[in-house]
Structure formats: structure tokens, C-alpha cells
């Protein structure tokens, strides 16, 4: 079980800080576009996200990764969901490239709207992958504290998606509005007519 907790921790170390990273970038996009030089915005965002996120995971590791007996179905489901996260990340990286994946288009205010590949099915496949990975880690570990952290993280991720949507609407205007009207945000299915 200890190996599975390490695997879950690896996924969480990568995924949990991401909303902090994007909050720093999207939250200060005007500032970064005017005053951000070179890689400084990336270093500030990454330092804030993985510095704080990594410290919190390490500091609270005993509570988050408290030993619990997990049924086989939870272990299998957790591993499958975390595998889906890795697969989605790989596909998104191949479709966007590493620079776009870390926010170069947002910082420069350039780039074209991604509407092909996974982006033809959902507007935010990377967030979908992260959500699957965090859910998988929770199923694998099963501690109540990790489920609480994940719930707060999901709320933060949904908030960051809204910030990103606002930035994309500002940057691409009617083209993004049309894209958003035909492609769902996170799940590749629509529930009810006209819902996003």
C-alpha cells in the first residue's frame, strides 16, 4: 500500500499546485503582459504554486496519507483515473506544445484558438485530466483529509477555469464565444439543450 501512496503523492505534487500557478498568471495577466520580462512570470508562478503546494503536501503528509484499507475496486479505479490524467497530459502537450501548456500564449496575448484534437471535444481537457488524477489519488489513498483537500482544490480549479474563460473571451472575442457554444467545458457530453 505504501507504494500506491507514493504514486498518489506524485500525481498530487504535480496537480494540486496548478490552480495556484494559473491564479498568479491569470490573476495578474495585465501586469505580466506589461511588466513581465522573459521567464520571470513563469518562475514567480511556479515558485508560488509548487513552493506553497509542495510545502503543504509535505507538512500535512501524515494526515493526508493516513493508512486506510482500500477495496480492490478503489485501487483499480484510482490507478485507471491517474493513468487517464497522464494520457491526457501527454496528448495535450503534443497538441499544444510545452510553451503553450505553461501559458506563453496568455502572457503574450498571442496564439491561435485550439479547436482540434481533444479541444474539439472539451474546452479544458487539461483540467479534466487533472480532476481525474486528483480523484484517482483520493480513491487510492482514501483518507478523509485528502477528500477535503480535493474538494477545495476542485472549487479552486473551477474558479481558475472561469478566469481562463474570461481571458480567452477577451483575446478571441466572437470566435471563442462560438467555440464555447458548441464545445462543452469539461465533459465531452452535453446535459440539456444549450447548457455549457
What's the mean per-residue pLDDT of the chain?
A: 88
- Report the alpha-carbon distance of residue 51 to residue 14 in Å, rounded: 12
Of the pLDDT bands very low, low, confident and very high (cuts 50, 70, 90), residue 135 is very high
Say if 189 falls within a structural domain. no
pLDDT tens per residue across span 146-158:
999 999 999 999 9
Please determine, for residue 195, whether its predicted confidence score (pLDDT) is greater than 60.
no
**Residue 196: inside a domain, yes or no?**
no
Please determine, for residue 123, whether its predicted confidence score (pLDDT) is greater than 50.
yes
Beta strands in 54-192 (DSSP E): none
Q: The CATH number of the domain where 11 resides is what?
A: 1.20.120
In a domain, 188, yes or no: no
State residue 92's pLDDT score.
92
Q: From residue 95, give the alpha-carbon distance in Å to each of 92, 102, 151.
A: 5, 13, 29
Give domain status of residue 177, yes or no: yes
What pTM value is reported for the model?
A: 0.88
Residue 192 located in a structural domain? no
Residue 187 lies in a domain: no
Residue 193 has pLDDT above 60, yes or no: no
pLDDT computed for residue 1 by the predictor:
59
pLDDT digits (tens, 9 = 90+) for 59-72: 888 888 887 788 99
Q: Which domain holds residue 154?
A: 2-182
The Cα 87–Cα 161 span in angstroms is 21
Determine which of 63-67, 75-79, 112-116, 158-162 has the lowest per-residue pLDDT on average: 63-67
Q: Is residue 194 part of a domain?
A: no
Please determine, for residue 111, whether its predicted confidence score (pLDDT) is greater than 90. Answer: no
d(CA 33, CA 109): 8
pLDDT bucket at 76, cuts 50 / 70 / 90 = very high
Pick from 179, 166, 146: nearest CA to 61: 146
Number of domains in the chain: 1
Is residue 95 a part of any domain in this protein?
yes
Residue 192 confidence class, pLDDT cut points 50, 70, 90: low
Higher pLDDT, 27 or 86: 86
Place of cell 458548441: 182
pLDDT at 196 (0 to 100): 45
- pLDDT above 80 (res 194): no
| Per-residue pLDDT tens over the stretch 21-47 | 988 888 888 888 887 667 888 888 899
Amino acid at each position: 500500500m505504501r507504494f500506491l501512496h507514493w504514486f498518489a503523492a506524485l500525481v498530487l505534487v504535480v496537480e494540486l499546485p496548478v490552480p495556484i500557478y494559473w491564479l498568479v498568471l491569470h490573476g495578474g495577466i495585465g501586469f505580466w503582459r506589461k511588466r513581465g520580462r522573459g521567464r520571470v512570470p513563469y518562475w514567480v508562478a511556479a515558485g508560488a504554486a509548487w513552493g506553497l503546494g509542495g510545502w503543504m503536501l509535505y507538512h500535512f503528509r501524515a494526515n493526508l496519507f493516513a493508512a486506510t484499507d482500500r477495496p480492490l475496486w478503489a485501487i483499480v479505479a484510482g490507478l485507471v483515473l491517474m493513468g487517464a490524467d497522464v494520457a491526457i497530459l501527454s496528448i495535450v502537450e503534443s497538441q499544444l506544445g510545452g510553451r503553450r501548456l505553461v501559458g506563453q500564449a496568455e502572457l503574450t496575448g498571442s496564439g491561435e484558438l485550439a479547436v482540434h484534437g481533444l479541444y474539439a471535444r472539451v474546452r479544458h481537457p487539461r483540467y479534466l485530466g487533472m480532476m481525474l488524477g486528483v480523484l484517482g489519488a483520493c480513491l487510492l489513498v482514501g483518507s478523509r483529509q485528502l477528500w477535503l483537500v480535493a474538494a477545495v482544490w476542485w472549487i479552486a480549479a473551477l474558479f481558475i477555469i472561469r478566469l481562463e474563460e474570461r481571458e480567452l473571451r477577451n483575446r478571441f472575442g466572437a470566435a471563442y464565444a462560438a467555440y464555447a457554444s458548441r464545445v462543452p467545458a469539461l465533459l465531452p457530453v452535453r446535459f440539456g439543450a444549450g447548457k455549457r
